[in-house]
């Protein structure tokens, strides 16, 4: 079962700038319409309470209240790797029950709920055992062209679609997990899942959209890594275009979700030899084709707000990527894409990025320094706001995202005079704010401790 390093790069050089200044002016003041967060709740972490894999409904409720306060209006879940089967254990039934309560709660708060569906993957966890941490890797992909496998595998996403039928949208995720590398399968087999699920959705919930998400579309092909990551990203362009072409034959409720790797992800930019050499995708023509076909487009960028357990250097650390989140959102805005779903793995640690993402979804031109100061006011005692702002500026300038970025993709640094030693010393002196202005999902004092620990672990800075 492949579960590599993929999750992350995307649309390299969109730049379908609007031709009229009037349109640009209007867009400059329009918030994104879908301002979403995708929760990945498949990894274990320490302490257990920090990992969504173990959260109960009350923990989710605190997180959703926080997102709402940040201006985020959409949440999305998926069936995690080992859970891809019809539910067998009490744990699986409880998780589904909690998610249904979350769906209802989100709707009560006037937020949208999305659910990401899979295709060829099936859990190999024994029936009487609970699925869990996805690093256990207990799942396999079945070729849908082998007799009986399509029926066997589509039963799982269908079950989840029927269960969450009140969702506002679904995504059918190409791969990672899922896909088929047998050599005979390709985009047409992926689209077979999309079509069947879209037809079912039209019966269950005619208002809902199903996005075909081309994340890891290259894993619908033989040896996707034969030409390394560059080959994977090249195939993401050709495979996505094949999906775009086949949308004409799809039911009208099908849209397109784009990983956008060529636009923002260091892994992709590096593979192409720098930002300047990274191909533009999607292009103005790609997006024009989609607009003319009246197919909604959702951007599904990943890893910039929070990275996963496959990069141990940053797993479990507080991140600050305000400049890169801003740059990505500006690029999407210029391309005319106003639906975006970012991601969180350990949401309690990433409250600063979540706050910044919320602010930038409303106004991508807000200054990063200003956003970090506003966040510092939430967390620090009023006499320590300057101190925390300085530490956050240092953290932002030394982010791992930036560390991985090729030279020509790096954004200008923010003004900061600290080094790692002084940032670490200063972080330890900050007193917490006792008067909460927003419903934070973690106590400021606890978050400040995590910040201090993170700085000590940033060995590259
Ligand atoms: Zn196959």
What spacing in Å lies between the alpha carbon of 323 and ligand 1's midpoint? 41
C-alpha 274/C-alpha 270 separation (Å) is 5
What spacing in Å lies between the alpha carbon of 298 and ligand 1's midpoint? 27
Instruction: Name 171's bridge partners.
Output: 116, 211
pLDDT tens for 260-307 read 999 999 999 999 999 999 999 999 999 999 999 999 999 999 999 999
What spacing in Å lies between the alpha carbon of 290 and ligand 1's midpoint? 28
What spacing in Å lies between the alpha carbon of 179 and ligand 1's midpoint? 8
Structure confidence at residue 30 (pLDDT): 86
Alpha helices in 249-405 (DSSP H): 261-264, 266-271, 284-292, 322-335, 351-362, 368-379, 385-397, 400-404
Give the Cβ contact number of residue 191 at 10 Å. 22
Structure tokens that stand for 236 in this block: 């993401």
Structure confidence at residue 29 (pLDDT): 61
Q: Which contacts (CB < 8 Å, 24+ apart) does range 273-276 have? A: 273/406, 274/406, 274/407, 274/408, 274/409, 275/12, 275/406, 275/408, 275/409, 276/408
What spacing in Å lies between the alpha carbon of 461 and ligand 1's midpoint? 45
Structure confidence at residue 11 (pLDDT): 28
Structure confidence at residue 13 (pLDDT): 30
What spacing in Å lies between the alpha carbon of 181 and ligand 1's midpoint? 6
What spacing in Å lies between the alpha carbon of 200 and ligand 1's midpoint? 23
Instruction: Name 35's bridge partners.
Output: 340
DSSP state of 280: P
C-alpha 275/C-alpha 269 separation (Å) is 5
Distances 105 to 101, 113, 207 between C-alpha atoms, Å: 6, 10, 19
Distances 85 to 125, 141, 398 between C-alpha atoms, Å: 9, 12, 41
What spacing in Å lies between the alpha carbon of 118 and ligand 1's midpoint? 15
Q: Prior bond to 47 cis, omega within 30?
A: yes
What spacing in Å lies between the alpha carbon of 180 and ligand 1's midpoint? 5
Q: Mind listing the domains of the chain with CATH numbers?
A: 10-366 (3.20.20.80), 375-457 (no CATH)
What spacing in Å lies between the alpha carbon of 189 and ligand 1's midpoint? 8
pLDDT tens for 39-94 read 999 999 999 999 999 999 999 999 999 999 999 999 999 999 999 999 999 999 99
C-alpha 349/C-alpha 357 separation (Å) is 14
What spacing in Å lies between the alpha carbon of 407 and ligand 1's midpoint? 40
What spacing in Å lies between the alpha carbon of 183 and ligand 1's midpoint? 6
What spacing in Å lies between the alpha carbon of 144 and ligand 1's midpoint? 6
Place of tokens 């699986």: 92
Question: What averages of pLDDT result for each successive group of 10 residues across the chain (461 residues)?
Answer: 38 32 50 98 94 97 98 98 98 98 98 98 97 97 98 98 98 96 98 98 98 98 95 98 97 98 98 97 96 97 95 94 98 96 98 98 97 98 98 97 97 96 97 94 97 96 93
Structure confidence at residue 15 (pLDDT): 31
Place of tokens 């199903």: 210
What spacing in Å lies between the alpha carbon of 23 and ligand 1's midpoint? 45
């Amino acid at each position: 079962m492949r579960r590599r390093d993929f999750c992350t790069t995307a649309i390299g050089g969109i730049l379908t700038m609007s031709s009229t200044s009037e349109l640009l002016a209007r867009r400059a003041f329009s918030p994104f319409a879908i301002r979403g967060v995708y929760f990945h709740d498949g990894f274990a972490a320490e302490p257990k309470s920090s990992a969504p894999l173990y959260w109960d409904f009350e923990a989710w409720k605190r997180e959703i209240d926080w997102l709402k306060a940040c201006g985020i209006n959409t949440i999305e879940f998926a069936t995690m790797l080992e859970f891809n089967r019809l539910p067998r254990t009490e744990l699986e039934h409880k998780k589904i029950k909690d998610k249904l309560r979350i769906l209802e709660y989100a709707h009560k708060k006037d937020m949208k709920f999305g659910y990401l569906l899979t295709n060829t993957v099936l859990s190999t966890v024994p029936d009487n055992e609970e699925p869990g941490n996805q690093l256990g890797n207990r799942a396999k992909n079945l070729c849908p062209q082998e007799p009986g496998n399509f029926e066997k595998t589509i039963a799982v996403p269908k079950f989840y679609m029927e269960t969450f039928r009140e969702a506002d949208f679904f995504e059918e995720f190409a791969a990672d997990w899922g896909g088929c590398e047998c050599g005979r399968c390709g985009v047409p087999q992926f689209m077979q899942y999309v079509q069947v699920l879209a037809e079912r959705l039209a019966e269950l919930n005619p208002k809902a959209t199903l996005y075909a998400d081309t994340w890891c579309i290259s894993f619908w092909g033989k040896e996707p890594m034969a030409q390394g990551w560059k080959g994977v990203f090249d195939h993401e362009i050709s495979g996505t275009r094949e999906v775009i072409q086949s949308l004409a034959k799809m039911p009208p409720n099908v849209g397109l979700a784009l990983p956008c790797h060529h636009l923002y992800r260091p892994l992709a930019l590096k593979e192409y030899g720098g930002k300047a050499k990274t191909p533009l995708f999607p292009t103005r023509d790609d997006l024009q084709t989609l607009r003319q076909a009246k197919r909604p487009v959702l951007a599904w960028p990943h890893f910039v707000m929070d990275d996963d357990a496959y990069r141990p250097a940053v797993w479990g650390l507080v991140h600050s990527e305000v400049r890169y989140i801003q740059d990505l959102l500006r690029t999407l805005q210029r391309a005319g894409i106003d639906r975006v779903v970012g991601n969180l793995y350990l949401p309690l640690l990433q409250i600063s990025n979540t706050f910044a993402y919320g602010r930038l979804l409303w106004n991508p031109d807000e200054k990063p320094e200003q956003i970090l100061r506003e966040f510092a006011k939430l967390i620090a005692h009023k006499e320590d706001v300057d101190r925390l702002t300085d530490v956050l500026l240092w953290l932002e300038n030394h982010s791992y995202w930036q560390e991985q970025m090729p030279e020509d993709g790096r954004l200008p640094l923010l003004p900061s005079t600290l080094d790692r030693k002084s940032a670490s010393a200063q972080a330890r002196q900050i007193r917490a704010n006792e008067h909460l202005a927003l419903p934070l999902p973690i106590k400021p004092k606890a978050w400040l401790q995590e910040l201090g620990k993170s700085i000590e672990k940033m060995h590259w800075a």
